Amino acid sequence: MRISTGMMFEVSTRGMLNDQAELLRTQQQMSSGKRMLSASDDPVAASQALGVRADEALSTQRAANQSSARGKLEIAEGKLGAAGDLLTNARTLIVAAGDGVLTDTDRQAIAAGLRGMYAELLGTANARDGQGRYLFSGYQDGTQAFTETAAGVVYNGDQGSRSLAVTSSRQIAVSDNGHSIFETGRSGNGVFKTALANANTGTGSVSVGGVYDATLLTGHSYQVVFGVAGGVTTYDVVDITGSPPGTPPPVTLSSGNAYTSGTAIRFDGMEISVEGSPANGDLVDVTPSTSQNLFKTLADAINAISAPAGAPSARARLTSALATALAELDSGAERVLAARADFGSRLRELDDLGVLGESERVLLAGQRSALEDVDYAKAASDFQRQQVALQAAMQTQVKMTSLSLFNFIG
């Protein structure tokens, strides 16, 4: 094939243009920091980088959810901490109300303090998050959790718990419903409740009691009836579950039992004790525990402390009521503490997930960088090589253009 001068010029020019294009591309890579200036540069790597970017976006969204969940949990945990402190202070006041040297006026002052705590507890139960949503209404977070009525405090929410997705496989509850925290209490000791009859005239006070054999429990209602004959106090135990009309009559389980102050009285798996001197005909009611919220526990304590306690029989009723109030308050405080501990464990989990998520994002950023970003050391080396090649091509082109047959004719 005949190689013409024009062909040589064309090949040389095309080579210089290619060298210039490569040099320009390397300059663009170095200035942008990206190895791939377009998807066509490396279709496989571009596809992989797109997948990594999607994973990064998802990880960032999870981090945002974790941050949101942490904020809600921190508010709820703080509110429950405040409720726990409030119940501790209320317990201190209830214990103080049992001091025998206090007057009715002193106890009225204590009752006033408890009313303030009652209102504060109700406000805590109706707490909201940073977005104005009620923390303890379950799924009904736009509805106030608790309202006070003539019959007592009523729960308006449901029994659900709102959650946020914090990983691909984990949803974490960011709230608890107020029912589980404030409403699931039981009266008395949780199995049965003791109380003195209002008509009692003696000084006998009754303990909260306990269970000595759960297999003997019947769930019935009882009365312990005291009598005095010849200066000796005795008691009968009567099962009164059948007292309503149309049902079997009361059943006397035992009668004429000798009474000793502070000695255990046992029947049907239950054990109570009475201290003091019951009068003839005095009664102790023993009834199955019923559902009772924390607000009623405080309200009952306030009512008991507010009542005059000058008479010995009234003093006995106050002592018994305060013992019951303390047992019920301690049970409620345990539920609040358990809920707070649960919030704390979720916060610790979020901390762990945050560390793992940050590690994941660092790893994904490294993978994306390996696919997209330029290797500056290699790019600099290529840039130098391409500059030299371009300069050589340009010099060659100059020499070729100066070649002519007339230069060799002398």
Per-residue model confidence as pLDDT tens digits over 219-232: 999 999 999 988 89
Is position 4 within any domain?
no
Q: Which residues contact 108 (CB under 8 A, 6 or more apart)?
A: 305, 306
Per-residue model confidence as pLDDT tens digits over 139-172: 998 999 999 999 899 999 999 888 888 887 888 8
Per-residue model confidence as pLDDT tens digits over 1-13: 555 555 656 665 6
Same domain, 227 and 172: no
Per-residue model confidence as pLDDT tens digits over 55-78: 777 878 888 888 888 888 999 999
Domain residues for the domain of 231 are 192-290
Per-residue model confidence as pLDDT tens digits over 369-407: 665 656 556 655 655 665 655 566 566 655 665 555 555
- pLDDT for 68 equals 84
Same domain, 202 and 54: no
User: Strand 163-165 vs strand 264-267: parallel, antiparallel, or unpaired?
Assistant: unpaired
Per-residue model confidence as pLDDT tens digits over 226-276: 999 888 999 999 999 865 565 667 889 999 999 999 999 999 999 999 999
Phi-psi region of 230 (alpha: psi -120 to 50; beta: other; left: phi over 0): left
Same domain, 115 and 196: no
- As a whole number of angstroms, the distance between CA 123 and CA 132 comes to 14
Question: Angle CA(181)–CA(187)–CA(191) in degrees, nearest 5?
Answer: 105
Per-residue model confidence as pLDDT tens digits over 98-115: 998 999 999 999 999 999
- As a whole number of angstroms, the distance between CA 326 and CA 92 comes to 10
Same domain, 283 and 305: no
Is position 392 within any domain?
no
Q: Are 23 and 363 in contact (CB under 8 A)?
A: no
- As a whole number of angstroms, the distance between CA 140 and CA 136 comes to 9
Task: Identify the H or E element spanning 287.
Answer: strand 283-288
Same domain, 85 and 222: no
Same domain, 98 and 223: no
Is position 53 within any domain?
yes
- As a whole number of angstroms, the distance between CA 192 and CA 268 comes to 12
Per-residue model confidence as pLDDT tens digits over 341-360: 999 999 998 888 888 877 77
Same domain, 45 and 140: yes
Same domain, 220 and 77: no
- As a whole number of angstroms, the distance between CA 70 and CA 311 comes to 55
Per-residue model confidence as pLDDT tens digits over 276-295: 999 999 999 999 999 999 99
Enter the pTM of the model: 0.76
Task: Identify the H or E element spanning 121.
Answer: helix 104-125
Give how far the C-alpha of residue 128 lies from the chain's centroid of Cα atoms, to the nearest Å. 14
Nearest Cα to Cα of residue 234 among 254, 253, 256: 256
Give how far the C-alpha of residue 382 lies from the chain's centroid of Cα atoms, to the nearest Å. 58
Is position 80 within any domain?
yes
Query: What is the DSSP code string of 221-267?
Result: -EEEEEEEETTEEEEEEEE-TT-STTSPPPEEEEEEEEP-TT-EEEE
In DSSP terms, which residues pair with 227 in a beta bridge? 234
Q: How many domains does the chain have?
A: 2
- Assign residue 340 the CATH number of its domain: 1.20.1330.10
Query: Based on the number of CB atoms within 10 Å of its own CB, is 195 exposed (0-12), middle (13-18) or buried (19 or more)?
Result: middle
- To the nearest 10 degrees (0 to 180), the angle between helices 312-372 and 294-306 is 150
Same domain, 196 and 286: yes
Q: Are 319 and 206 in contact (CB under 8 A)?
A: no
Task: Identify the H or E element spanning 207.
Answer: none
Handedness of CA 107, 111, 116, 121 (dihedral sign): positive
Same domain, 307 and 328: yes
- pLDDT for 18 equals 63
Same domain, 271 and 328: no
State the DSSP code for 134.
B
- pLDDT for 63 equals 84
N-term to C-term CA, the chain: 29
- pLDDT for 301 equals 96
- pLDDT for 285 equals 96
